[in-house]
Structure formats: C-alpha cells, structure tokens
Chains A and B, each alone.
Chain A
C-alpha cells in the first residue's frame, strides 16, 4: 500500500533563512505528488504539484524517484510562510484519491 512520510512535525526557522520540508513516499506505480498548505484559519489548498515543475510563492519541489522523495524548499523564508504543510500522493488515475503525510508545521520567526 502507498504511504507518505513527513518526518518533521515542526520546523522553526528565522525570517530569511532557508527552509526544507522533507517528504518521502512508498508506491509501486508512477507517482503524482503534491504539496498542500493550510494557513491559520484558512482551508487546505494546493501549493504546488510536481508535474507543473513550477515555483509558487518562492517554493519549489523536485521529485526524486531514486530516493522516493519530494522535498519542499524555499531559499528565504518569510513570516507569511508560517503554516501547516502536507505532502500528498495521488495513486489512482480514475479517481483523484490522495494519500497524505502527517504534516509539518512551519514557524517562521521574525
């Protein structure tokens, strides 16, 4: 069965410092991976997906099939990046079922 692991429950960094959120997955098929974010008092929303290969709000994530990882990175963290981040794996083409990791809370200190 598929599984997504986010080893860090909490990441605390200072403003302007780099931040990297780790995500590892296990899945026998061809994975499609996402990062979702939940800001305080807001709903869960898509941040980025690996297929798009885009940078959103300064965040990037590269799919490494050899290491089965999809780490999220930002070179200079901002206070508004403080949020809960979830890595997610889509496993079925017909239905967009998502398997989520446990989430990482990012706290960016001034």
Chain B
C-alpha cells in the first residue's frame, strides 16, 4: 500500500492567514493526488484533484501543488468557513489511501 504522511496533524490560524499543509507519499505517484475538506457531521468535500486542479465551485483561495512524492495544499486568506480537517488521498494504485488528516483550528 502507498503510505500517506500529512503534516502538521493540527494547526491554529487566524482569519486572513495563509495556511500550508503538506502530504508526502511512500512512493512516487506523479500527480495522482486529491485533497478533501471535512467538517464534523458533514460529507467530505473534494477540493483539489490531480494535485493542482480546483474542483468546480471551490473558492480560488484554495490551491494545490506538487508531483512525485511531495504535495502541498495552500489556503490563502483563511475564512471562518475553512476551519475543518483536510485529507490528502492518492489515486495512483489501489487500495486508495488517505493521509491521517490536518485539523485547522481557530487561533
């Protein structure tokens, strides 16, 4: 299985901050990497697919980059509705695997 390591596991930030979350994979996956946002009691939401493509309807303050084994999710100008847990997920090979999540909390 491809192992996914996210960092940090949690962070505290203020509205307006720029937030960066990283995801590292145990082997190269080209750009077969997706990012999701998850709020308690809600359905997870696809934010970014293929490492850097913004899903339809997602605000442009969200951005993704990377290829190979190292990937980044950036949130520019954090908004109140962005406080949530973020997961990376690889689609390079089954079984599909997820990072352990990064919880973005209010400072």
A pairs with B:
no
